[in-house]
Structure formats: structure tokens, C-alpha cells
Amino acid sequence: MINIVIFGAPGAGKGTQAQLLAEKYDFLHISTGDLLRQEVAMQTPTGLRAQDIMNRGDLVGDDIVVPLLARAIKNRSIHPDPDSLVDPWDRELKGDPHRPEGFIIDGFPRTVGQAQALEFLFGKLKRKIDLVVAIDVPREELVRRIHERAAISGRADDTEEVIRHRIELYDLQTKPVLDYYRVSGLLVSVDGSEEISDTNKRICSIIDYKISRTTPENP
């Protein structure tokens, strides 16, 4: 059982890769972007606070995103009941004997403070982050990809101005998180500039190696 953070600038493909990896390895996939967008779609108080921030391309504050992530981690659901916080692996309590192989989280952390908050959340569950995968994609390729996505999804935060602002914020605020995880020895970078399948194969080889090193024979 391992827990993974998948990392990358807007348009790097971390959401797509996280979904593929969740299916392949039976991870619980949590996307803070999806959590926030569902709050916006439901017009909850949290969603109303987050909507303008997201449309500007700014980072949603820790006071909004951390509680959402904490609930999702503890309850394994997008909109959990805050009065029934349980260990996400205790599915036997609901008559389901299946135990997932760990978490894969994308869209978080985006600051060093959030990285520390994530460690705290996992620590409460007596678990830890085992691997951080950073997907590297050149800036102009990121812009091109997001334009393509906007044509399909119609997302309000995928305009030219917002796209470049989000990438600038990533460079200023989020890249230091890479250094944070690099020092801890958890960070592995992969080239994400090619086809989705090529990137996925690279990441899978990294995960397979990590799993092989964390079996009982190789603690």
C-alpha cells in the first residue's frame, strides 16, 4: 500500500494520469480541482467563495481547500458527512471487504504549507506520502494543451490571460514544493511532453519499482 502525489503545472496532464493510475493500481483518486468544481456546481458556501478565485486563476486559500481535502481523505467521498469521519480503509464497516492500495492525489499541494498540511493529515491516519511524481512539460506546450481543453470543456478558468497567470503562479508558488519533496527523497520527475501513453508507461515503471521496494521482503 503506497500513497502518491502527482504534480505538475496546469495542463501537464496530472489529472489524466492520476485517473489512469487509479484504475491500474486500485488507488483512491482525490483531485482538489474536482472537489472545488463540484462545490461550485452545487453553489455551496464553499463553492461561492472559491468560484471567483478560480476564475481569476489564483490559488484557492488553505482555509477552503484543506478542509475539503481532509474530509475527502477521511471519508473517501467528494461530499462526505462531517459527522462520520472514518479511516478510508475501513470499508469493512460498511460490509465491503475491499481495501484499496492507497491514495493518489492531484492538484494538491500547491505550496510548502499545503505539503506540510498533507503530511499532518496522513499522519493522523498513521500513513505517509511514499512517492511524488512531477510531470515536466514545456510552457508553450502547456498553453496549447489548455487551449485545446478549453475548446472541449468550456471552463471559465481556461482563457488565455488566466492560463498564463496560473502558470506564472505555479512557477512562483508551487515549484518550491518540488524542492521540499526533493530534499525528502520522495520526488521523481518524468517527461510529460509526449503522448499520454508514453508518460503513463514512465510513471508506471516508477510506481512498480516503488511497490517492489515496499513489499515485506523489501521494507
Write the single-letter amino acid at 50.
A
- Cα-flanking dihedrals φ and ψ of residue 85, to 5°? -75, 120
C-alpha cell recorded at residue 40: 461550485
Domain 4-213 listed as CATH 3.40.50.300? yes
pLDDT tens for residues 17-26?
A: 999 999 999 9
pLDDT bracket for residue 207 (50, 70, 90): very high
Using CA atoms, how far apart are residues 8 and 161, in angstroms rounded to an integer? 19
| 35 Cβ neighbours under 8 A, 6+ residues apart | 65, 68, 69, 72, 78
Per-residue pLDDT, 215: 59
Q: Please state the separation of Cα 104 from the chain's center in Å.
A: 7
Contact 13, 137 (CB under 8 A): yes
User: Does the model's pTM come out above 0.75?
Assistant: yes
pLDDT tens for residues 94-123?
A: 444 445 578 999 989 988 889 999 999 888
Using CA atoms, how far apart are residues 158 and 162, in angstroms rounded to an integer? 6
Percent of the chain exceeding pLDDT 90 equals 35
What average pLDDT does the structure give for the chain?
Answer: 82
3 state SS of 27: coil
Per-residue pLDDT, 182: 94
From the CA atom positions of the chain, what is the Rg in Å?
17
Mean of pLDDT values over 191-205: 96
